[in-house]
Amino acid sequence: MVEAAGWWPVLVAPALLLAGAVLAVAGDAMLAARYAGRPARAAVAAVPLLEVARLLAQQPRTLPKADRLLWRLGVVTVPVAAVLSVLVIPFGHRAVADLSVGVVWFNAMEVLTWAGLWLAGWGPNAAFSLIGGYRFVAQGLAYELPLMFALISPATAAQSLGVGDIAEAQQGLWFAVWMPVAFAGYLAGVLAFAFLGPFGYPAGRDTAAGVLGETAGVDRLLLQAGRWLWLTSGAAMAVPLFLGGAAGPGVPGWAWSALKTLLVLAVLVWSLRRLPVLRADRYAEFAWVVLVPLTIAQALVPALVVLDR
Amino acid sequence: MDLTAPLLRAAAARPHILLVATPGGTAARLAAERQLRLDGLPLAPTPADAGILLVAGPDCPALRPALDRLWQHMPAPRARAQARTPEAVADAVARCRIELAARPAPGPASAPPSDGTEPPGGLPMAETAPDRDGLSLDQLHLSLGPFLADWPSGVTVRLTLQGDVIQQAEMGEQPATRGTAPFWAEPWARAAAGERVGAGEAARRRAAAHLDSLGRLLALAGWAHAATTARRLRDDLLDGAATGALRPAVRRFARRVARSRTLHWLTRGTGVLGADEARAAGVSGPAARAGGDVAARYRTWLAAVVRDVERLADPAPLDAAYDEGPRGRGDAGQPPSEALLRVLPGLLEGAELAAARLIVASLDPDPDELAAAAREVASRG
């Protein structure tokens, strides 16, 4: 049973999210060190902190005729939306707010990043940055529908849009087991809205870091933080949606939540450097021709099961 | 409590470095890339992300304004150094890091000063022109180069874009530098001068050159792991590792990249250069042998690397007629990279912007060769 408890989770939830993001960045730095042939020393774990210090000390950038209001608005939106998205995710058996439409809330926050990132690309008044912003919109057109069907599948099976109800409906069998396509589509969607790894197209090297290309200092810190916070939030949401939530033997619920979240996060971080960046023009074709029909068929399975019940 | 000093010290512990090679600076660039990889200092893709501007290679007066522009676009705190030779790299990086840690608090934010060549507002106004379907669409002019991450430095391509489709591509003037022979073609230059050069030595240089090109292409394709592996293998080759030590890693790398369906899916059909068309334009080497798209060209490189790694100990003298340089034969005093530049505009026109960088990287003209050629033209004229 998920309960909304007092005021203190309002502070704890963002702190936990931040801790997860710091671990993800440190893990990524560790993998980078290993691939580059450096010994993976403990100092690598300090990389996220050094990065924060570097960006705080760095002068923010101003460009001629930049649209500063919209630029800042966009840059702030990305991490803020990520933090807001965790409000509905239960940790153990507690959530900040177990809304009856929790899945819709999560999805709405994720779509806010569309606006945020596009504005962040538009603001600096620079060609590559704008291209980066548009690339995210193009990528969004490809990943969003499969992601929505992936979110709908567990909601249909649980006959509820509340995240707590969905976690509870998996007594016995995890949704990841009998909805593998939805689970895979969801994980791909997480990488895509965090625009990291194979979905790093909006910040691609071929357009001189695209949407990140003109940002420095605090602006860059917020956008980069937004990416990793979204990755962590997506990993945390996978637990109640597909992996049985906080249920598990032996240890208390919060420990199971943390363990499962970190496992999903580890898989996502590992995948970041293993694939080339997917060009949105080619991925869109694949998404519409293959992924959308597959995820619709997947959503049909729980619908039929529920009808038959 | 003053937080600025510890903050600056922490920031200087892991600065991001904008590494810029000037034409003729390949050896210094390789030394820098290797050192930064082992020190764990990330390479910045843009000046906005960088704290240190490290110029690798000899002075190039024609490119000085472009370098100064990069410097102007870097946010404080920042430091700048030039390493003209590979030996100077370690010292230059160390000096910059000390300077970064000691710098006083950054000043107020300011816009980079305009150098008078940029139109007001930084971006030219869009004009309209008919596109390929006969519709009237906005046109945008965009220059690639002379300095970009994973780009042949000094090369400039002026693009006219409609949407993300390149309508027109024009090559800019190639800057000339004083300098030594091109690093990658050095064994062939020595053989041409009458010196006895082993075929094994040439194979080693060629394999390293292909791995360098592959590292650039894979980095642009966003495949971080494979790009790092290519650069590690390149450095091992240049360090003189033996065939036996390299074989398993090279084979594994070549197999993984050549068989990657994702990479093939992302690059197939882009930048198609037929074999006959290539030969007619004077292109030789892997680009002509591949006779196809970007995917065909990187697979040709991979096959060549696997073959060359088997021949590292070959004591036979280099026969330049049979054993081509990494970018082909230099016919009639013209370096092979020049022919690669000639076919480039034709390949770029009609391509999408996302494919443009991959097409350039898949041909990978060598800035050293181009600079040497421009030098000869200048001295002749």
Tell me the per-residue pLDDT of A205-249, one tens digit each, with 9 for 90 and over.
888 788 888 888 888 999 999 999 999 999 999 999 998 888 878
* Strands B79-83 and B52-56, sheet pairing: parallel
Q: Residue A195: left (phi > 0), alpha (psi -120 to 50), or beta?
A: left
Compute the distance between CA of residue B165 and CA of residue A47 in angstroms, rounded to an integer: 39
Select the residue of B75, B221, B228 nearest A59 (Cβ to Cβ).
B75
Tokens of B238: 């240049």
Residues of chain B with CATH 1.10.645.10: 186-380
* B21-78 pLDDT tens trace: 888 888 999 999 999 988 888 899 888 888 899 999 888 888 888 888 888 888 888 8
Q: What band does B110 get if pLDDT is binned at 50, 70 and 90?
A: very low
pLDDT at position B109 is: 46
* CATH 3.40.50.2000 describes domain B4-102: no
Coil, strand or helix at B40: coil
Closest chain B CA to residue A39: B38
Work out the average pLDDT over A50-57. Answer: 85
* A278-305 pLDDT tens trace: 888 888 889 999 999 999 999 898 888 8
Q: How many other CB atoms are found less than 10 A from the CB of residue B379?
A: 8
Rounded to a whole number of angstroms, the distance from the CA of B224 to the nearest CA of chain A is: 5
Closest chain B CA to residue A275: B223
Of B63, B61, B62, B43, nearest to B53 by C-alpha is: B43
- Choice between A57 and B129, residue whose per-residue pLDDT is larger: A57
pLDDT at position B128 is: 67
Work out the average pLDDT over A76-98. Answer: 88
What is the CATH architecture assignment of B186-380?
Orthogonal Bundle (1.10)
* B38-54 pLDDT tens trace: 888 889 988 888 889 99
Select the residue of B106, B107, B224 nearest A273 (Cβ to Cβ).
B224
* A242-272 pLDDT tens trace: 988 888 788 888 888 899 999 999 999 999 9
CA distances from B277 to B89, B152, B291 (A): 42, 23, 9
Contact yes or no for B45 and A276 at CB 8 A: no
ipTM of the shown complex: 0.85
Which percentage of chain B shows pLDDT scores above 90?
21
pLDDT at position A154 is: 92
Q: Across chain B, where does the E strand assignment appear?
A: 17-21, 52-56, 79-83, 127-130, 136-144, 157-162, 165-171
Select the residue of A57, A131, A207 nearest B7 (Cβ to Cβ).
A57
Compute the distance between CA of residue A86 and CA of residue A79 in angstroms, rounded to an integer: 11
Name the residue ranges covered by the structural domains of chain A: 3-308
- Choice between B32 and A65, residue whose per-residue pLDDT is larger: B32
Q: What band does A130 get if pLDDT is binned at 50, 70 and 90?
A: confident
Tokens of A299: 């959503």
Residue type, A291: L
Of A201, A197, A203, A205, nearest to A270 by C-alpha is: A197
Q: What burial class does residue A307 get, using C-beta atoms within 10 Å of its C-beta: 0-12 exposed, 13-18 middle, 19+ buried?
A: exposed
Contact yes or no for A207 and B353 at CB 8 A: yes
B333 touches chain A (CB under 8 A): no
Residues of chain B with CATH 3.40.50.12280: 4-102
Coil, strand or helix at A257: helix
One DSSP character per residue, A120-146 reads HHHTT--HHHHHHHHHHHHHHHHHHHH
Select the residue of B45, B121, B262 nearest A64 (Cβ to Cβ).
B121
Contact yes or no for A33 and B40 at CB 8 A: yes
Which percentage of chain B shows pLDDT scores above 70?
86
B121 touches chain A (CB under 8 A): yes
pLDDT at position B132 is: 61
Contact yes or no for B49 and A32 at CB 8 A: no
* Ranges A83-92, B131-140, B331-340: which has the least confidence: B131-140
Per the CB < 8 A criterion, the answer to whether B157 and B172 are in contact is yes
A–B interface: beta-carbon pairs under 8 A:
159
Per the CB < 8 A criterion, the answer to whether B122 and A125 are in contact is yes
- Choice between B130 and B61, residue whose per-residue pLDDT is larger: B61
Compute the distance between CA of residue A291 and CA of residue A144 in angstroms, rounded to an integer: 11
* B226-245 pLDDT tens trace: 999 999 999 999 988 888 88
Tokens of A48: 């996220």
Select the residue of A36, A44, A62 nearest B110 (Cβ to Cβ).
A62
Contact yes or no for A126 and B13 at CB 8 A: no
